[in-house]
């Protein structure tokens, strides 16, 4: 089974998936999506929701308002998400990065995706997964999302993949170039599958049991 066949099989079995679009709950603005991507690191969404509500009340998710906050003012707002010092520093650095582009997301979308990715990765507290998430859901630059769910699924399917995120992505995308909406849908499918299928025993009774992936 190829990656493309895996994608179409999952789509057929699981149907269209909900994923964050600006204007949907917890994604009222692209900046809210960016903040959520940082806050959800190493925690669950229940702990993120109060932090986002606090940030909305304090800043309206305006980058300029975020930049006016000191670290001491920001940390209590996001404390429920855990690791709030590191996440607070990442949020302030992200707001500064947006300010360097005059907070113009439309202009950022026109820039080279790899350059944007490198700039995001230069922000302490933003790793590969968070950078790709921000690029895909707010700046219209799609890729194959390499997260815990994706690694576990490919392992179950017998595909020995590179350990580094860029090499993993390169191997997948060289076989199956994905349009932006396909990137978003594939990520949503894999994550939903991962939330439902958590163990080897679960996988053995899933619709992917016995399948082998060739990448």
Residue 211 lies in a domain: no
At residue 31, does pLDDT exceed 90? Answer: yes
115 and 69, same domain (yes or no):
yes
Residue 131 lies in a domain: yes
14 and 45, same domain (yes or no):
no
CA distance to 15, 23, 39, 145, 155, per residue, from 32 (Å): 27, 10, 10, 20, 33
Domain residue limits at 159: 3-18+143-204
Residue 24 lies in a domain: no
Say how many domains are in the chain: 2
pLDDT of amino acid 162: 96
pLDDT of amino acid 23: 62
* Over residues 88-110, mean pLDDT: 97
pLDDT of amino acid 20: 66
38 and 84, same domain (yes or no):
yes
Beta carbons within 8 Å of 12's beta carbon, 6+ residues apart: none
Residue 13 lies in a domain: yes
pLDDT in tens, 34-57: 999 999 999 999 999 999 999 999
pLDDT in tens, 173-215: 999 988 999 999 999 999 999 999 999 999 999 999 999 999 9
* Over residues 130-154, mean pLDDT: 95
pLDDT of amino acid 80: 97
* CATH number of the domain enclosing 61: 1.10.340.30
* Domain final position from 94, 113, 138: 138
109 and 176, same domain (yes or no):
no
153 and 170, same domain (yes or no):
yes
At residue 24, does pLDDT exceed 90? Answer: no
Beta carbons within 8 Å of 132's beta carbon, 6+ residues apart: 117, 143, 145, 146, 165
pLDDT band at 74 (very low <50, low <70, confident <90, very high): very high
Q: Which residues of 9-21 are buried (b: 16+ CB within 10 A; e: fewer)?
A: ebeeebeebebbe
36 and 132, same domain (yes or no):
yes
Q: CA 193: distance to chain centroid?
A: 16
* Over residues 134-156, mean pLDDT: 96
Choose among 112, 147, 186, 202: nearest CA to 37: 147
83 and 110, same domain (yes or no):
yes
């Amino acid at each position: 089974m190829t990656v493309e066949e895996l994608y179409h099989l999952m789509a057929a079995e699981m149907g269209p998936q909900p994923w964050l679009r600006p204007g949907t709950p917890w994604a009222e603005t692209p900046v809210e999506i960016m903040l959520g991507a940082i806050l959800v690191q190493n925690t669950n969404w229940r702990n993120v929701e109060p932090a986002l509500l606090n940030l909305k009340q304090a800043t309206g998710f305006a980058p300029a308002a975020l930049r006016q906050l000191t670290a001491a003012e920001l940390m209590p707002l996001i404390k429920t998400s855990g690791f709030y010092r590191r996440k607070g520093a990442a949020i302030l650095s992200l707001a500064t990065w947006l300010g360097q582009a005059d907070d113009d997301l439309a202009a950022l979308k026109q820039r080279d995706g790899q350059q944007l990715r490198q700039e995001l990765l230069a922000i302490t507290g933003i790793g590969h997964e968070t950078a790709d998430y921000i690029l895909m859901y707010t700046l219209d630059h799609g890729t194959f999302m390499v997260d815990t769910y994706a690694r576990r699924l490919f392992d179950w399917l017998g595909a020995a993949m590179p350990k580094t995120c860029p090499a993993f992505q390169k191997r997948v995308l060289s076989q199956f170039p994905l349009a932006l909406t396909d990137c978003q849908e594939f990520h949503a499918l894999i994550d939903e599958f991962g939330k439902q299928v958590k163990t080897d025993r679960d996988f053995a009774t899933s619709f992917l049991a016995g399948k082998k992936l060739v990448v």
